[in-house]
Chain A
């Protein structure tokens, strides 16, 4: 609380310094997480700079050059349609990271909202929301997404939203738990006794104090979302081709090409592995630093 008050009083310049100082102290305490963060920033930079760092068209290939092994002109080789694999990995990073970050963000925000309301209001509403979340959680992700992927047209937005639905219940559950313990604090009682409305109590007094678990859930689910996109791509249910996503590049339909050109399977998987591994390491570091109560519960 003291920190919060100080932050509100400080000038913008000082606040910026505080952020920098926080980042530096985080990097000192969690060097591995800092390295992971750098890798993720690099991946995002590559994705944003895709046209600069690639030399070929990601979607139109030269059929005369199909299934070439890695060489100077195609550093990761070419696929069955003669498209440059490196170019597709970089453009694939755009869609896969967009789906991963987007789904984690949307899912966590909606889930947190449900968790906040059901935890604070309690009673029948709480029970209804919790049971609905249980029902979504009971369906294995693949079944839920196979069904959704067929209902929705395979656009970037729809794939992101479908994966977000799967993230909502885990966020709701975590936030629900955090709200229950925060609700019992004296300062919440104090706020209520001076006549603050439920909305104000939730947003001004409870939300800032459950931000840590929210940020942690958001960071960890990015990895899960990227892996789910890959699984959808494998089944041919991700963003419609020819758009490059890491999942689409592993599509089962292309597995015959992968048998004669194994590098086609290797590159997207390694891209996914490095990204998700970094996300997980960063998430662990954030959890240790932001939420001392959870320390040691993971690893």
Chain B
């Protein structure tokens, strides 16, 4: 177990390093120049001043030097300075935005599990009956529609006919938790709907498989009520695949949260990345991508390591 954890952690570290190299290379292939955007805001600046600024921002150095300087900045905690906003560190701006995205992601995940698990169980219990077909169509629809489009429709038709108004000013969770959740629940539900499809599929097939296991047959044979068999014997064994799925879906949840945030106007990581890309704020985009990539790798690592704790039968080689 210990050896496995170390090996697995080492692999995760390599993946994070690769992510940082990818992101860095991609961003430095970008056309356009942060400096020009910056100057666009402050007016015309003479060429010698421009060269000095370039020097100061480190845009003249060879790529590998810029990369290592960036890595140095990651380790001193600032992740560099925003190229556009003077005096703001990349990590500072991520620190403001990330909690919003994480909150939306976690709420969406909860909604997905709360919707998906019962749908999957009902589908399996009523296998091949109308209720099963109905639920499968419902969850497959969630997988087939873009989440931002559902949000768009909710905003357009909700404001027209239901008196709904999308949040105009974001309220922080710590400022006013009630208002915050009022703003959050609709995008979270949309995110969860998309997620529930795969959870329900996984749950349905696991439960169906479990129905054929010997221990379930034994439980039935000794006269246990149907619902008790499902709760005591089937569900426990369905936890592992669902957790695996959640691990695999981290990047998907992130993608959904990032785009819903932009639609609903929450100042989270999606919004921050989107504007940073439009402004060619290299260091900010690099920081954002690295942090999201790092979180995804970290969660997958935790999921892998948690198997042995959840199911003692699992042994690592």
Contacts and interface: CB of A to CB of B under 8 A. Distances in A.
Contact of B11 (A131, A148, A265, A279): A131
B201 A276 contact: no
Interface in A245-299: 250, 252, 255, 258-259, 262, 265-266, 268-269, 272-273, 276-277, 279-281, 296-299
21 contacts: A131-B14, A131-B15, A134-B11, A135-B293, A136-B22, A138-B251, A138-B293, A138-B297, A139-B293, A140-B251, A142-B259, A147-B23, A147-B26, A147-B277, A230-B146, A230-B149, A231-B255, A234-B146, A235-B274, A276-B143, A296-B205
Contacts of B144: 223, 227, 272-273, 276-277, 279-280
A143 interface: yes
A137 interface: yes
B15 A143 contact: no
A280 B139 CA distance: 12
A141 interface: yes
B259 A280 contact: no
Given A230-B149, A280-B140, A132 B18 contact: yes
B146 A140 contact: no
B146 A135 contact: no
A151 B148 contact: no
A139 B143 contact: no
Given A142-B255, A151-B31, A265-B149, 12 more contacts: A138-B19, A139-B292, A143-B255, A146-B277, A231-B255, A234-B149, A262-B157, A272-B146, A272-B149, A273-B144, A276-B145, A277-B144
Q: Dominant SS at the A interface?
A: helix
A150 interface: yes
A258 B263 CA distance: 14
Contact of A143 (B140, B156, B280, B288): B288
Contacts of A150: 30, 277, 280
Interface in B126-141: 136, 140-141
B contact residues, range: 35 or more
Given A235-B274, A272-B146, A299-B205, A151 B292 contact: no
A131 B18 contact: yes
Closest 3 CB pairs of A and B: A135-B18, A140-B254, A277-B144
Interface in A168-216: none
A137 B156 contact: no
Contacts of A258: 152, 156
Contacts of A131: 11, 14-15, 18
B251 A134 contact: no
Contacts of A143: 254-255, 258, 273, 288-289, 292-293
B81 interface: no
Contacts of A269: 145-146, 149, 152-153
Nearest to A298: B201
Contacts of A136: 22
A272 B143 CA distance: 11
B18 A272 contact: no
Interface in B154-179: 156-157, 159-160
B24 to A, nearest CB: 11
Contacts of A132: 18
B235 interface: no
Contacts of B303: none
B134 to A, nearest CB: 13
The residue among B208, B209, B280, B289 with the most chain A CB atoms within 10 A of its own CB is: B289
Nearest to A259: B156
B108 interface: no
B285 interface: yes
Interface in A222-245: 223, 227, 230-231, 234-235
A235 B259 CA distance: 9
Contacts of A259: 156, 159
B102 interface: no
B259 A281 contact: no
A268 B152 CA distance: 12
Contacts of B258: 140, 142-143
B143 A140 contact: no
B19 A139 contact: yes
Given A250-B149, A255-B152, A141 B201 contact: no
B108 to A, nearest CB: 13
A266 to B, nearest CB: 7
Nearest to B270: A142
B27 interface: yes
B293 A234 contact: no
Given A140-B251, A296-B209, A227 B146 contact: yes
